[in-house]
């Protein structure tokens, strides 16, 4: 799934009506009206550099809260898995590396906004990336999740 998405936005939690989901804890907009207000704001601001388009997308993310949950068929059969990595008050959605695009150091993974929204296609690959990211970053705050995205 190749996309020109550079950032994901959701509900504002730090005294704003909206903010990047990397800093709001992956909290979506609560209503379509809130989303449309954020889109209107971006389009009205002439001093904000915008991409050619602002798109409405729907994300469905199911997070495994423990390694035991990964035995659930929902995770075993999924062909669209991501890592959710929280570090230094930022949350990153992480997928598979894509040739010619930035990766996370020496980890076989890349932020979704850097890799064209390419999720991992197997539980084995996402587990290997999780292990390596944890080892190299020194953090254990990494969760595995299913990931579905739909434009609309």
Query: Domain range holding 134?
Result: 59-151
Question: In this structure, how many other beta carbons lie within 10 angstroms of the beta carbon of residue 1?
Answer: 10
Could you tell me if residue 11 is inside a domain?
A: no
Could you tell me if residue 117 is inside a domain?
A: yes
- In this prediction the pTM is 0.80
The angle subtended at Cα 115 by Cα 142 and Cα 137, nearest 5°, is 30
Nearest to 16 by CA among 4, 27, 2: 27
Per the rule left: phi > 0, alpha: psi between -120 and 50, beta: everything else, 25 is: left
* Residue carrying structure tokens 């930035």: 102
Q: Which residue(s) pair with 94 in the sheet?
A: 83, 111
| Number of structural domains in the chain | 1
* pLDDT tens over the chain, length 152 residues: 445 556 788 888 876 778 888 788 888 888 888 888 887 777 777 555 554 566 777 888 999 999 999 999 999 999 999 999 987 778 889 999 999 998 988 899 999 888 988 999 999 999 999 999 999 988 888 999 999 988 76
């Amino acid at each position: 799934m190749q996309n020109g998405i550079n950032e994901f936005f959701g509900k504002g939690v730090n005294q704003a009506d909206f903010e990047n989901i990397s800093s709001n804890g992956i909290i979506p907009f609560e209503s379509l009206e809130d989303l449309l207000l954020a889109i209107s704001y971006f389009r009205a601001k002439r001093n904000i550099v915008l991409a050619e388009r602002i798109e409405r997308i729907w994300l469905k993310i199911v997070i495994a809260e423990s390694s035991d949950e990964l035995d659930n068929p929902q995770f075993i059969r999924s062909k669209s898995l991501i890592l959710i990595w929280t570090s230094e008050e930022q949350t990153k959605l992480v997928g598979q590396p894509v040739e010619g695009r930035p990766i996370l150091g020496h980890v076989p993974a890349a932020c979704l906004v850097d890799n064209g929204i390419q999720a991992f296609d197997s539980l084995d690959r996402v587990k290997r990336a999780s292990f390596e990211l944890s080892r190299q970053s020194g953090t254990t705050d990494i969760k595995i999740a299913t990931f579905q995205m739909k434009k609309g």
